[in-house]
Amino acid sequence: MATEQPEQRTWRRPTAFYNHYVKWAVYVVITVFLLWSAWNMRISVARVIEGWGAAIGLIQGMVPPEFTPFKMDLLIEGLIESLAMSVIATIVGVLLSIPVAFMSAENIAPRPVYWVGRGIITVSRSFHELIIAIIAVKAVGIGALAGVIALSYKTVGFFAKLLAEEIEDIDSGQMEATEATGANRVQTMLFGVVPQVMPRIIGLTIYRWDINIRHSTIVGIVGAGGIGATLLNSFDQYDYDFFLTIIIAIIAIVMVGELISTYIRGRIQ
């Protein structure tokens, strides 16, 4: 038969990289980097076994957790301080965030204001709360105030960024309609914008409170108040029984906070 077979066509999935050579090169680089990292840390099998033994010793030292009245008082005092810090930091942070969010929404803020708002958010997001807590402790002294400052500061970056994105997504028709009645700028925001983002404001506040509870248990490690200080003390004094008690209490508090937050957010959807 002289009929020519049409050449069979092949197909390869297009790659996200420039071509398949680049793709394999990238894979090789990633693998080499992983191997180098492992080698760099020199984690030997013997070291792992040795560490394992120490870990078991530590855990054995922790059980049973300690519930003596004196320690319970310490625990409750620390927890209440942590909770109070988280509540105050959330309220202060949210109140500061809302104007920043409006400043950072591209669709309503004039250009220069927008950049100032974005700048505030970026600066707030740049540092870990522990760094801010260390600075705050130096500035205002050891105690809960420093923790509140650190947590409020972090709240602004988180809350304003997410709220600004929500404001950018609003239906501008409602804003225009308000403007068309002769309302001034603030009134236009109050009627044309705020009702649209209110559920998000509530949801984000609850969510941030949930995060602040968790973080309020940690800033105490650098002296910024709350249960963290108690936690570190117990550890430094080899008081592992009490250490476990605190850990359990923190888990309980965070879980309760999460339950409350889930419930409220479910209700406002």
The two three-digit tokens of residue 165, written as one number: 């994105």
Q: CB-wise, 141 or 195, nearer to another protein?
A: 195
Name the minimum Å distance from CB 196 to another protein.
7
Name the minimum Å distance from CB 193 to another protein.
10
- Please tell me the distance from the alpha carbon of residue 151 to that of residue 91, in angstroms, as a whole number: 11
Q: CB-wise, 69 or 173, nearer to another protein?
A: 173
First to last CA, the chain: 72
Which residue ranges make up the site for another protein (CB under 8 A)?
171, 173-174, 176-184, 186-187, 190-192, 195-196, 198-199
- Please tell me the distance from the alpha carbon of residue 136 to that of residue 142, in angstroms, as a whole number: 8
Name the minimum Å distance from CB 96 to another protein.
19
Name the minimum Å distance from CB 79 to another protein.
37
Q: CB-wise, 45 or 186, nearer to another protein?
A: 186
- Torsion angle, CA of 178/180/184/188, rounded to 10 degrees? 20
The two three-digit tokens of residue 217, written as one number: 């248990």
Name the minimum Å distance from CB 108 to another protein.
15
- Please tell me the distance from the alpha carbon of residue 85 to that of residue 197, in angstroms, as a whole number: 26
Gyration radius of the chain's alpha carbons: 27
Q: CB-wise, 126 or 187, nearer to another protein?
A: 187
Cis peptide before 64 (omega within 30 of 0): yes
One DSSP character per residue, 122-135 reads HHHHHS-HHHHHHH
Amino acid identity for residue 28 in this structure? V
- Please tell me the distance from the alpha carbon of residue 101 to that of residue 184, in angstroms, as a whole number: 19
Name the minimum Å distance from CB 246 to another protein.
43
Q: CB-wise, 80 or 198, nearer to another protein?
A: 198
Contacts of 192 (CB under 8 A, 6+ apart): 174, 175, 176, 177, 178, 179, 183
Q: CB-wise, 196 or 233, nearer to another protein?
A: 196
Name the minimum Å distance from CB 160 to another protein.
21
Backbone angles phi, psi at 218, to 5 degrees: -105, -30
Q: CB-wise, 112 or 182, nearer to another protein?
A: 182
